[in-house]
A and B are shown apart, each in its own frame.
Chain A
Amino acid sequence: KQEVTQIPAALSVPEGENLVLNCSFTDSAIYNLQWFRQDPGKGLTSLLLIQSSQREQTSGRLNASLDKSSGRSTLYIAASQPGDSATYLCAAPGSGNTGKLIFGQGTTLQVKP
């Protein structure tokens, strides 16, 4: 059974810092891993999807890496800005070929001006 864990649960950093969010998963037989952003009271927005054949994926100041063998993914945010403040969730496919995703509890990020 797939389980996804995110550390830390919350993070507060000053503006301009580079930071890393961590995600671990128990079942490494995944075909991709996804990172999402959620603003308070809103739905989730897809940030990055890393295919199992890839080691990393980049979008602007965001870089996500995937290490299936160790069951880990990281989301790197460069030069953080107050607008990056949100909850970041990672999700890995559940066991079985159903397309359902299992989500971590999320990391709530606050970037202080």
Chain B
Amino acid sequence: SQTIHQWPATLVQPVGSPLSLECTVEGTSNPNLYWYRQAAGRGLQLLFYSVGIGQISSEVPQNLSASRPQDRQFILSSKKLLLSDSGFYLCAWTFDLSTYNSPLHFGNGTRLTVT
């Protein structure tokens, strides 16, 4: 069976500091990977998605970036955090696009507070 791991669970960082959140998927190959952010009262916002190694699509302009150095590893980064980056960050995966009816599976999320 497939599992998704996301860490850390909580993070408190000062403004201007760097960020690195990591997500890994086990038990499958070539998954589609996603980073979502959930801010209070704003719903779930898609930040980045990737259909393969080195392939990153950005949905929203921001000071965040994403990388996929390995097939089942997805990293969310920032060089300098802003207060507005605070939120609940969720990593998710699904099977490749040839299997259209594959559910989206989420990790447990990272609660980021920028102070």
Please give the residue numbers on chain A whose beta carbons come within 8 Å of chain B beta carbons, in ascending order. Answer: 31-32, 34, 36, 41-46, 49, 51, 89, 91, 94, 97-106
Q: With an 8 A cutoff between CB atoms, is B79 at the interface?
A: no
Q: Do A104 and B105 touch (CB < 8 A)? A: no
Given contacts A43-B108, A97-B97, 20 further A-B contacts (CB under 8 A): A36-B106, A41-B88, A41-B109, A41-B111, A43-B90, A43-B107, A44-B106, A46-B105, A98-B49, A98-B97, A99-B49, A99-B97, A100-B34, A100-B46, A100-B49, A100-B59, A103-B43, A103-B44, A104-B43, A106-B43
Q: Do B44 and A45 touch (CB < 8 A)? A: no
Known: A42-B109, A43-B107. A89 touches B97 (CB 8 A): no
Q: How far is the CA of A61 from the CA of B29 in the complex (A)?
A: 33
State the Cβ distance, B67 to closest chain A Cβ, in Å: 18
State the Cβ distance, B8 to closest chain A Cβ, in Å: 14
Contacts of A104 in B (CB 8 A): 43
Query: Which residue of the partner chain B has the closest CB to A103?
Result: B44
Q: Do A46 and B103 touch (CB < 8 A)? A: yes
Q: How far is the CA of A100 from the CA of B108 in the complex (A)?
A: 19
Contacts of A105 in B (CB 8 A): 43
Contact among A31, A44, A45, A99 for B51, CB-based, below 8 A: A99
Q: How far is the CA of A42 from the CA of B111 in the complex (A)?
A: 10
Q: How far is the CA of A32 from the CA of B43 in the complex (A)?
A: 20
A-B contacts at CB below 8 angstroms, number: 59
Q: With an 8 A cutoff between CB atoms, is B15 at the interface?
A: no
Interface residue range, chain B: 20 to 34
Contacts of B88 in A (CB 8 A): 41
15 contacts between A and B (CB under 8 A): A36-B106, A42-B108, A43-B6, A43-B107, A43-B108, A43-B109, A44-B92, A44-B104, A44-B106, A49-B101, A49-B103, A51-B101, A98-B97, A100-B34, A100-B49
Within 8 A of A (CB), among B76-115: 88, 90, 92, 94, 96-97, 100-109, 111
Contacts of B59 in A (CB 8 A): 100
Residue of B6, B103, B105, B107 ringed by the most chain A CB atoms within 10 A: B103
